[in-house]
Each structure stands twice: as structure tokens, then as C-alpha cells.
Amino acid sequence: MIETTVLGVPLRLETSRGLFSPRAIDEGTLAMLRRISFTPDDKVLDLGCGYGVVGVFAAKLIGPARVWLLDNDTAAVAQATANLALNQVEGAACVVSDGFADFAQSGFTKIICNPPYHADFSVPRRMIEKDFNRLVIGGALWMVTKREAWLPQQALQGVRWREGIRRRRLFRL
């Protein structure tokens, strides 16, 4: 059980060894959450939700009806669903899908993710390439990355990148 407070928001999160960062919330995720401002009108997607840190946090701030959590791992989605209940924000949509393959929702103001980089950059690249058509005009993709130079040089040419953060990197489109 992880019990913590992020920006004044208390979180209780159950996790397991098979999920990313099972002992504590990942530093990159925390750095990213400290930079994002949520508004009541936001429509948020926690892409690659794991046990639901971002989705639970967003649901506590803006309400669960405007939050979606998505992961390709059924165990992760089950744990994220349980964590929504544990934090009394049931009602956010938790979906099993490999990226956007089985997910039709769009019109997001914020898509937030800390994608896996364990093998190579193909998973985050695929996420970036598919995210833009799911955002509203003026929406933002927030992503944690291991290598600052990778996103602007390899992912998308000609996109304006902002808000670098030390060690692990976070960029906002």
C-alpha cells in the first residue's frame, strides 16, 4: 500500500510487483503531476495507467466522470479500478486496450502518460503518433521520457516542446 499526498491531495494506492513502480510513485510521474494544472472542464486520459496514479489524482481534482484510464495490461486496469474505489472516485472509465486499438473515445484536453521504455522507444513513439487525433484543438500531451533529446529529434519533427525537468524529462506539447 502506498499512502502519500501529492499537491495536497491524499492518495492511497494498492499495487503489486508485476506493475511499474510498485513500492512508491515514480519520480517522473510526480514531477509531471506537479507541472500540470487541471480545470473542472478538462477531459483527461491516463494513457498506460498502470495502477492508476495519474487517473486517481485527476479524478480527485476534477471528478471521475471526466477521467479515462487506459492500459493494455488487464491486471493494471483491475488495480486502477480498485484504486479508484479505494480513493472514493469510482466512475472514471477504466479500459483495457493496446494503445488506441480498442478505444474510441476522443476530445481530450489532456493526455498524460509515463510510457514504458524498457525495450526501446517504439511504444512511446506509437503513443505520440496516435495521441494527436484524440486531443481537442489546444489540448496537451504530457509525457515523461528518459532522454530529453529523443522526443524532439526522433518522435515528431517540427513540434514545439516545452518544460524540461531534470534527470527524467517531461515535455508538454
> What's the mean pLDDT in 8-30?
84
Kindly report the CATH number assigned to the domain that includes residue 111.
Answer: 3.40.50.150
Range of the domain at 52: 2-172
Alpha-carbon gap, residue 26 to 92, rounded angstroms: 22
Q: Based on the structure, what is the number of domains in the chain?
A: 1
In the predicted model, is pLDDT for residue 161 greater than 80?
Answer: no
> What's the mean pLDDT in 59-77?
94
In the predicted model, is pLDDT for residue 11 greater than 70?
Answer: yes
Which residues 6+ apart lie within 8 Å of 82 measured at CB?
Answer: 14
Burial class from Cβ neighbours inside 10 Å (0-12, 13-18, 19+) for residue 51 reads buried
Cell of 119: 525495450
Cα separations (Å) of 79 from 74, 133, 171?
A: 9, 28, 27
Q: Mean pLDDT highest for which of 71-80, 127-136, 142-151, 154-163?
A: 71-80
pLDDT for the residue numbered 74 = 92
> What's the mean pLDDT in 93-107?
83
In order, the DSSP letters of the chain are -EEEEETTEEEEE---TTSSS-SS--HHHHHHHHHPPP-TT--EEEET-TTTHHHHHHHHHH-GGGEEEEES-HHHHHHHHHHHHHTT-BTBEEEE-STTTT-----EEEEEE----SS-SHHHHHHHHHHGGGEEEEEEEEEEES-TTHIIIII-TT---B---SSSEEEE-
Name the pLDDT band for 77 (thresholds 50, 70, 90).
Answer: very high
pLDDT for the residue numbered 162 = 45
